[in-house]
Structure formats: structure tokens, C-alpha cells
């Protein structure tokens, strides 16, 4: 079933200020290329533990700790690879039926 509201996305890193901000920019570009209405926030991994989201994106060393917080958890190794993230999002959102 298609999501009838804005997609909530969380970009995480260790400190929540630098790398995750870069990742947020990459994610916003990728989601807009997919035509998805989304709100992307960036934060550190400990703050993320108290939050919920539809999608969490981060490096493996962080997403492993918070894998149960969101229905979609995407692990990336390159924070600037927009095309790679777009493809991962396309696959994951399609599986949930959230991509129309």
C-alpha cells in the first residue's frame, strides 16, 4: 500500500553534526530524484535510539545498533554516492510498496 503521508527519514552518524549532515543532503537528492515526498533529519546514533522513522540510513557500524527502529534500514559506505543510495532506496521502498 502506498504511503499516504510524508516519508520520515533519519540520517545517522557518530556525532550527528558532520557526516550525517552530508548524508542528509545526499538522501534528499536521491529521494527527490525518486519523486518521494520526504523529510530527512540528521542525528547521532544515541539520539536516534529514542526516535522512530520510516527509513534509517547510516554506515554499517551504526545501523547495526539501531536496526529495529525503522521498517527500512539502509547501510551505505559512501556518504556522497547519490546514485548508489537512490538505487538502494528504490529497491527498499518498492518492497514495502511505498514507491508509486
Partner 1 sequence: MTEVGARDAVVAADWRAAVREAAVALVELGVAGPDYPDACVKVVEQNGPYIVLTKGLALVHARPEDGGLGVGVAVTRLATPVEFGHRDNDPVDLLLAFCTPGPDAHVASLSRLARALSGGLADRLRAAADHDALAGELKGALPDA
For binding to partner 1 (CB under 8 A), which residues are involved?
13-15, 17-19, 21-22, 25-26, 29, 45, 58-62, 77-82
As given in the structure block, the three cell numbers for residue 2 are 502506498
Q: Which is nearer to partner 1, 13 or 38 (CB)?
A: 13
Nearer to partner 1, 17 or 91 (CB): 17
Distance of closest approach, residue 66 Cβ to partner 1, in angstroms: 14
Q: How near is the Cβ of 17 to partner 1 at its closest, in Å?
A: 7
Which of 1/77 has CB closer to partner 1?
77
Instruction: Write down the least CB distance from residue 50 to partner 1, Å.
Output: 17
Beta strands in the chain, from DSSP E residues, in sequence order = 7-13, 38-44, 55-58, 72-75
Least Cβ distance, residue 16 to partner 1 (angstroms): 9
Half-sphere exposure of 98 (CA within 13 A, CB side): 21
Angle among Cα 65, 69, 70 to the nearest 5 degrees reads 120
Amino acid at each position: 500500500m502506498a504511503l499516504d503521508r510524508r516519508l520520515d527519514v533519519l540520517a545517522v552518524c557518530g556525532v550527528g553534526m558532520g557526516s550525517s549532515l552530508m548524508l542528509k543532503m545526499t538522501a534528499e537528492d536521491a529521494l527527490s530524484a525518486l519523486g518521494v515526498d520526504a523529510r530527512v533529519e540528521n542525528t547521532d546514533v544515541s539520539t536516534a535510539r529514542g526516535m522512530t522513522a520510516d527509513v534509517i540510513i547510516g554506515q554499517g557500524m551504526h545501523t547495526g545498533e539501531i536496526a529495529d527502529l525503522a521498517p527500512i534500514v539502509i547501510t551505505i559506505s559512501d556518504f556522497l554516492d547519490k546514485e548508489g543510495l537512490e538505487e538502494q532506496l528504490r529497491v527498499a521502498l518498492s518492497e514495502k510498496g511505498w514507491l508509486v
